[in-house]
């Protein structure tokens, strides 16, 4: 089984503007597709690859030019310092969930597996699971998660259904969750609705948006002048953070302008228009349809 099919491979690697002797970081190693392509363009350069999932790290090749770290990219500054680097020439992050996570029932990422445990941890050693979120969080907290992270319009009713169901029996599997919320699932749009529910739980379990903010803020100091930050996002919450950061140097609001009307931002947007997969790639891999690529160059 293929661990993951790399999305927007050529566009993202071209976006890094790789120098053969440069130092680059792939903060989401996954199946190794991006890292392999980076290595192909390096001679004396180095690649540092991170992933918080031990299953992904097992895919790492034995290459003297490559340093592999098991951990979350929110600690990127520490990992670079540990390996003797203060700044690098490029950072790439593919924020998508690997096909491996959806396909392996035991990881609990997909609603397609009825008996899958409600896990959803990217790092299997982490403490918080989706099972704990569903069974321990208050109704109000569940409502906020589904409204904010899933952008679900009936988040209040959804949270109520979960709280009512768990009074009788703990909700431990994907199938049990689907039964608990079946009254909320709209006919004809079941998959779209459930995808939002599971996305919201996954984001909460892994703290995905907070980790992304930390990475973006760190990149300002960690990239050399002219260095590239390449981000592939898969839902509007992530993409909005990246877009606003590149445009305004902040996640919300509008940046202040100087007396000449210029905005003081750390990045120049390399692609003013977001890059998306073409029809050929989407036909070959349906999971590519929501991908959005943005590239920033450190000023």
pLDDT tens digit string along 7-27?
A: 999 999 999 999 999 999 999
Q: Can you give the pLDDT at residue 104?
A: 54
Name the band, by pLDDT with cuts 50, 70 and 90, for residue 108: low
Whole-number Å distance between alpha carbons of 42 and 92 = 15
Residue 235 and residue 286 share a domain: yes
Residue 40 and residue 92 share a domain: yes
Residue 140 and residue 88 share a domain: no
CATH number at residue 196: 1.10.150.170
Q: Residue 190 is encoded by which pair of tokens?
A: 């079941």
In a domain, 1, yes or no: no
Q: Can you give the pLDDT at residue 3?
A: 53
Q: Can you give the pLDDT at residue 120?
A: 92
Q: Is the dihedral of CA 246, 247, 249, 253 positive or negative?
A: negative
Domain-terminating residue out of 206, 226, 245: 206
pLDDT of 28-56, one tens digit each? Answer: 999 999 999 999 999 999 999 999 988 88
Question: Cα angle at 135 between 195 and 185, to 5 degrees?
Answer: 35
CATH number at residue 271: 3.40.50.150
By three-state DSSP, how is residue 117 classified?
A: strand
Name the band, by pLDDT with cuts 50, 70 and 90, for residue 1: very low
In a domain, 3, yes or no: no
Q: Residue 70: enclosing H or E segment and its boundaries?
A: strand 66-70
Of 143 and 272, the structure prediction assigns the larger pLDDT to 143
| Number of separate domains in the chain | 2
Residue 279 and residue 154 share a domain: no
In a domain, 292, yes or no: yes
Name the burial class of residue 269, with classes exposed (0-12), middle (13-18) and buried (19+) by CB atoms within 10 angstroms of its CB: middle
pLDDT of 210-241, one tens digit each? Answer: 999 999 999 999 999 999 999 999 999 999 99
In a domain, 128, yes or no: yes
Residue 85 and residue 41 share a domain: yes
Residue 159 and residue 28 share a domain: no
User: Buried b vs exposed e over 24-47: b needs ≥16 C-beta within 10 Å?
Assistant: bbbbbbbbbbbbbbbbebbeebbb
CB 109 within 8 A of CB 97: yes
Residue 79 and residue 115 share a domain: no
**Arithmetic mean of pLDDT over the chain:** 92
Residue 172 and residue 49 share a domain: no
Name the band, by pLDDT with cuts 50, 70 and 90, for residue 90: very high
Residue 170 and residue 117 share a domain: yes
Residue 228 and residue 196 share a domain: no
In a domain, 214, yes or no: yes
Residue 197 and residue 111 share a domain: yes
Residue 126 and residue 176 share a domain: yes
- Residue 164's domain comprises 105-206
In a domain, 200, yes or no: yes
In a domain, 4, yes or no: no
In a domain, 261, yes or no: yes
Say if residue 148's pLDDT is above 70. yes
């Amino acid at each position: 089984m293929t661990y993951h099919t790399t999305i927007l491979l050529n566009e993202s690697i071209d976006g890094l503007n790789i120098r053969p002797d440069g130092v680059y970081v792939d903060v989401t190693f996954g199946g190794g597709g991006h890292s392999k392509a980076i290595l192909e363009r390096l001679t004396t350069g180095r690649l540092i690859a991170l992933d918080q999932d031990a299953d992904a790290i097992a895919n790492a090749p034995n290459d003297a030019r490559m340093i592999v770290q098991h951990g979350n990219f929110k600690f990127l500054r520490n990992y670079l310092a540990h390996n003797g680097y203060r700044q690098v020439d490029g950072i790439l992050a593919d924020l998508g969930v690997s096909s491996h996570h959806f396909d392996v029932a035991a990881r609990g990422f997909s609603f397609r597996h009825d008996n899958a445990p409600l896990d959803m941890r990217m790092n299997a050693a982490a403490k918080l699971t989706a099972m704990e979120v569903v069974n321990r969080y208050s109704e109000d907290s569940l409502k906020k998660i589904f409204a904010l992270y899933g952008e679900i319009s009936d988040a209040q009713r959804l949270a109520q259904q979960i709280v009512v169901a768990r009074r009788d029996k703990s909700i431990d599997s994907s199938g049990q969750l689907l039964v608990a919320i079946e009254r909320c699932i709209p006919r004809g749009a079941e998959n779209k609705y459930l995808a939002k529910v599971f996305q919201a739980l996954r984001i909460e379990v892994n703290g995905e948006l907070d980790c992304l903010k930390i990475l973006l803020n760190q990149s300002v100091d960690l990239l050399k002048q002219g260095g590239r930050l390449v981000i592939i996002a898969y839902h509007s919450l992530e993409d909005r953070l990246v877009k606003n950061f590149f445009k305004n140097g902040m996640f919300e609001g509008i940046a202040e302008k100087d007396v000449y009307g210029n905005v003081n931002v750390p990045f120049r947007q390399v692609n003013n228009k977001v890059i998306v997969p073409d029809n050929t790639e989407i036909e070959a891999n349906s999971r590519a349809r929501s991908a959005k690529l943005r590239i920033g160059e450190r000023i």
